[in-house]
Amino acid sequence: MEVMDKVATCIEDQACYAEFQIMLEEAPIMLYITRLTGRIRLLLSEKLIYKKRLYFLGMKLATESGIDEEVKLGILILGFFKNDLTRQIIKILGLNSTLTIYAVETSKNFPDHNEFLFELAKKNLGVRHEQTNLS
Protein backbone atom coordinates (compact mmCIF):
# COMPACT_ATOMS: atom_id res chain seq x y z
CA MET A 1 0.00 0.00 0.00
CA GLU A 2 2.81 2.38 0.84
CA VAL A 3 4.48 1.89 -2.53
CA MET A 4 1.28 2.56 -4.45
CA ASP A 5 0.49 5.55 -2.24
CA LYS A 6 3.95 6.92 -3.10
CA VAL A 7 3.36 6.15 -6.80
CA ALA A 8 0.09 8.10 -6.67
CA THR A 9 1.90 11.00 -5.01
CA CYS A 10 4.75 10.95 -7.54
CA ILE A 11 2.31 10.95 -10.44
CA GLU A 12 1.04 14.27 -9.17
CA ASP A 13 4.33 15.68 -7.87
CA GLN A 14 7.63 14.66 -9.48
CA ALA A 15 9.54 16.21 -6.55
CA CYS A 16 8.93 13.09 -4.44
CA TYR A 17 10.80 10.84 -6.89
CA ALA A 18 14.00 10.66 -4.78
CA GLU A 19 12.02 9.47 -1.74
CA PHE A 20 10.32 6.92 -3.98
CA GLN A 21 13.70 5.54 -5.12
CA ILE A 22 14.85 5.16 -1.52
CA MET A 23 11.63 3.36 -0.62
CA LEU A 24 12.14 0.84 -3.44
CA GLU A 25 15.75 0.21 -2.42
CA GLU A 26 14.81 -0.42 1.20
CA ALA A 27 11.93 -2.82 0.47
CA PRO A 28 12.57 -5.01 -2.60
CA ILE A 29 9.44 -5.70 -4.66
CA MET A 30 9.98 -9.47 -4.55
CA LEU A 31 8.81 -9.42 -0.92
CA TYR A 32 5.32 -8.21 -1.86
CA ILE A 33 4.93 -8.76 -5.60
CA THR A 34 1.45 -10.32 -5.55
CA ARG A 35 0.07 -7.81 -3.08
CA LEU A 36 1.46 -4.97 -5.17
CA THR A 37 -0.20 -6.18 -8.37
CA GLY A 38 -3.45 -6.61 -6.48
CA ARG A 39 -3.19 -3.07 -5.17
CA ILE A 40 -2.51 -1.68 -8.65
CA ARG A 41 -5.55 -3.57 -9.96
CA LEU A 42 -7.72 -2.20 -7.16
CA LEU A 43 -6.62 1.42 -7.64
CA LEU A 44 -7.25 1.20 -11.37
CA SER A 45 -10.63 -0.49 -11.05
CA GLU A 46 -11.83 2.05 -8.50
CA LYS A 47 -10.36 4.91 -10.58
CA LEU A 48 -8.36 6.11 -7.59
CA ILE A 49 -5.29 6.73 -9.73
CA TYR A 50 -4.92 8.43 -13.10
CA LYS A 51 -4.56 5.59 -15.57
CA LYS A 52 -2.77 7.61 -18.25
CA ARG A 53 -0.24 9.04 -15.80
CA LEU A 54 0.37 5.60 -14.32
CA TYR A 55 1.04 4.30 -17.84
CA PHE A 56 3.62 7.01 -18.49
CA LEU A 57 5.28 6.34 -15.12
CA GLY A 58 5.41 2.61 -15.90
CA MET A 59 7.00 3.33 -19.28
CA LYS A 60 9.56 5.62 -17.69
CA LEU A 61 10.46 3.13 -14.98
CA ALA A 62 10.68 0.15 -17.34
CA THR A 63 12.55 1.78 -20.20
CA GLU A 64 14.57 4.67 -18.78
CA SER A 65 15.69 3.54 -15.33
CA GLY A 66 18.96 1.86 -14.56
CA ILE A 67 17.78 0.78 -11.11
CA ASP A 68 16.50 -2.82 -11.01
CA GLU A 69 13.71 -2.20 -8.51
CA GLU A 70 12.33 0.63 -10.65
CA VAL A 71 12.42 -1.53 -13.77
CA LYS A 72 10.60 -4.31 -11.90
CA LEU A 73 7.87 -1.92 -10.80
CA GLY A 74 7.66 -0.55 -14.34
CA ILE A 75 7.09 -4.06 -15.69
CA LEU A 76 4.34 -4.72 -13.14
CA ILE A 77 2.61 -1.45 -13.98
CA LEU A 78 2.83 -1.97 -17.76
CA GLY A 79 1.12 -5.34 -17.41
CA PHE A 80 -2.14 -3.50 -16.78
CA PHE A 81 -1.97 -1.82 -20.18
CA LYS A 82 -2.65 -4.32 -22.88
CA ASN A 83 -1.12 -2.97 -26.07
CA ASP A 84 1.55 -4.25 -28.44
CA LEU A 85 4.21 -1.85 -27.20
CA THR A 86 3.87 -2.80 -23.52
CA ARG A 87 3.79 -6.50 -24.37
CA GLN A 88 6.98 -6.14 -26.42
CA ILE A 89 8.74 -4.22 -23.65
CA ILE A 90 7.70 -6.79 -21.04
CA LYS A 91 8.80 -9.66 -23.30
CA ILE A 92 12.22 -8.11 -23.97
CA LEU A 93 12.83 -7.27 -20.33
CA GLY A 94 11.56 -10.70 -19.28
CA LEU A 95 14.44 -12.32 -21.18
CA ASN A 96 16.75 -11.00 -18.47
CA SER A 97 16.79 -13.74 -15.84
CA THR A 98 16.52 -11.25 -12.95
CA LEU A 99 13.35 -9.78 -14.48
CA THR A 100 11.66 -12.96 -15.75
CA ILE A 101 9.52 -13.50 -12.65
CA TYR A 102 8.11 -9.97 -13.00
CA ALA A 103 7.23 -10.56 -16.65
CA VAL A 104 5.55 -13.83 -15.65
CA GLU A 105 3.61 -12.18 -12.82
CA THR A 106 2.38 -9.29 -14.92
CA SER A 107 1.45 -11.52 -17.86
CA LYS A 108 -1.35 -12.91 -15.69
CA ASN A 109 -3.25 -9.79 -16.80
CA PHE A 110 -3.01 -10.79 -20.47
CA PRO A 111 -5.89 -12.65 -22.12
CA ASP A 112 -3.37 -15.01 -23.78
CA HIS A 113 -1.26 -15.59 -20.67
CA ASN A 114 -0.17 -19.13 -21.62
CA GLU A 115 0.90 -18.12 -25.11
CA PHE A 116 2.93 -15.22 -23.71
CA LEU A 117 4.65 -17.54 -21.22
CA PHE A 118 5.40 -20.09 -23.92
CA GLU A 119 7.03 -17.45 -26.14
CA LEU A 120 9.01 -16.09 -23.19
CA ALA A 121 10.19 -19.57 -22.18
CA LYS A 122 11.30 -20.41 -25.73
CA LYS A 123 13.56 -17.36 -25.88
CA ASN A 124 14.78 -17.26 -22.28
CA LEU A 125 18.15 -18.89 -21.85
CA GLY A 126 18.15 -18.58 -18.08
CA VAL A 127 21.29 -18.50 -16.00
CA ARG A 128 23.89 -21.21 -16.25
CA HIS A 129 25.36 -22.29 -12.94
CA GLU A 130 28.61 -24.16 -12.57
CA GLN A 131 28.16 -27.61 -11.10
CA THR A 132 29.69 -27.71 -7.65
CA ASN A 133 31.33 -30.63 -5.95
CA LEU A 134 29.85 -31.02 -2.47
CA SER A 135 31.97 -34.02 -1.43
Residue 129 has pLDDT above 90, yes or no: no
- Which pLDDT tens digit goes with each residue over 9-56? 888 888 888 888 888 888 888 888 889 999 999 999 999 999 999 999
Q: Is 128 left (phi over 0), alpha (psi -120 to 50) or beta?
A: beta
Number of domains in the chain: 1
Query: Domain of 106?
Result: 3-132
d(CA 6, CA 68): 18
SS3 content of the chain, % helix, strand, coil (to 5): 75, 0, 25
| Predicted confidence (pLDDT) per residue in 71-112, tens digit | 999 999 999 998 999 999 999 999 888 899 999 999 988 888
Closest CA to 42 of 69, 3, 75, 4: 4
